[in-house]
Amino acid sequence: LNLGINVSHQLLLSGRLQPLLEGQPARRLLIELTEHAAFDDYASLREALAPLRERGIRLAADDVGAGFSSLRHVVELSPDRMKLDRMFTSGIENDPARRAMAEALIVFARRTGIGLVAEGIETERELEVMRRLGVPMGQGFLIQRPAEPRSVPRVAEHIRPVVAPITPDADRVFARYSARVGRSLRRPGVRPVTGGPVPEPERVRH
């Protein structure tokens, strides 16, 4: 599994992020740069990102299209992934303007080799349109609602039927993963996963 971390440019420039990520599996980490305010010091931002990206940590521009800064992030920082803001997804099946804008960004992503994610997919029609346009990845309530870490084994079971037809070793991979999660949940102070709805979020202690 990969982990996306929402990060502001203030945190990146502070120098506090890199020590927090030391010793973590770099190639499974994705920094999602989320910032709608105007920002100009891209030279400093590239310098702050350089040691992280050299380690293999990937960069995503979040909420692309929601504001001027998100589009400039794509041009100035050459991210590995760009996430289309839900503004484009919501009602795209009935809105030619939204569809045209989304298509333009999809073409841009293909030509530049940037991975693409459509955010805010909430209906089957939205998912169908995004698939037809060639968007390879998506997120939203239709695919999976936000969940607590201890519910991840159930999330894995939820997506297994989708993954199995295209990944021959899916059953073996999921079995190994579930066993690893099970061992971690047996650590002192970690409650096991039970059936039923996803519990309410708990306060995280740092």
| Predicted pLDDT at 37 | 67
Q: What's the pLDDT score for residue 69?
A: 72
What is the overall mean pLDDT for the chain? 80
Which residues are CB-contacts of 48 (< 8 A; sequence separation ≥ 6)?
12, 13, 15
As given in the structure block, the two tokens for residue 14 are 């502070």
pLDDT of the residue at 48? 93
Q: What is the pLDDT of residue 164?
A: 63
Q: Report the range of poorest mean pLDDT among 37-46, 117-126, 128-137.
A: 37-46
Backbone angles phi, psi at 52, to 5 degrees: -70, -45
> Is the per-residue pLDDT at 182 higher than 80?
no
| Residue of 200, 185, 193, 183 lying closest to 147 (CA atoms) | 200
Q: Average pLDDT for residues 22-51, to the nearest whole number?
A: 87
